[in-house]
Structure formats: structure tokens, C-alpha cells
Amino acid sequence: MKRVKDDFAEKMNESVRLYRFLYYGERVADEDTAKTLEIEELGLDRGVRNTRKWIRPGIN
């Protein structure tokens, strides 16, 4: 998931270190994969709205 996290931070024009990446409340590690997270199919519209939270450290 490192590439996904890096791509997101780049799109937001910020450092990846400013974000905590969670999937169903669990922190996503760089070495995690869709298989280890048990993601069967992740559509962009469903995935971003319903299964992920992008949280900046110190806010929550």
C-alpha cells in the first residue's frame, strides 16, 4: 500500500507523514496489500466514501 499512500499524498500536495491511513479502523502499513487487508473489490466511489478515512495526526 506504500504506492497508494504516496500517490494520495502527492495528489494532496503534502507529505505522506501528515496522514494516517486506515481501513475499517485499522492502520494501513506500507507492506499491506489488498489481499492482506481482505479487500475484494474496491471501486473508487465506494472505497473512498465508505471504507477509508484520511486523518491528519493530532486532529483525531
- In this predicted model, what pLDDT tens digit does every residue of 24-39 receive, in sequence order? 888 999 999 988 888 8
Using DSSP, state whether 50 is helix, strand or coil. Answer: helix
Residue at grid coordinates 477509508: 52
Asked if pLDDT for residue 5 goes beyond 60, the answer is yes
DSSP tag of 28: P
Is 14:49 a contact under the CB 8 Å cutoff? no
Kindly report the backbone phi and psi dihedral angles of residue 24, in degrees, each rounded to the nearest multiple of 5, phi listed first. Answer: 50, 45
Domains recognised in the chain with CATH numbers: 1-52 (3.10.20.90)
DSSP 3-29: HHHHHHHHHTTS-GGG-EEEETTEEPP
Asked if pLDDT for residue 48 goes beyond 60, the answer is no
Read off the pLDDT of each residue in 5-25 and give the average, rounded to a whole number: 92
Note the pTM of the prediction, 2 decimals: 0.60
Asked if pLDDT for residue 19 goes beyond 80, the answer is yes
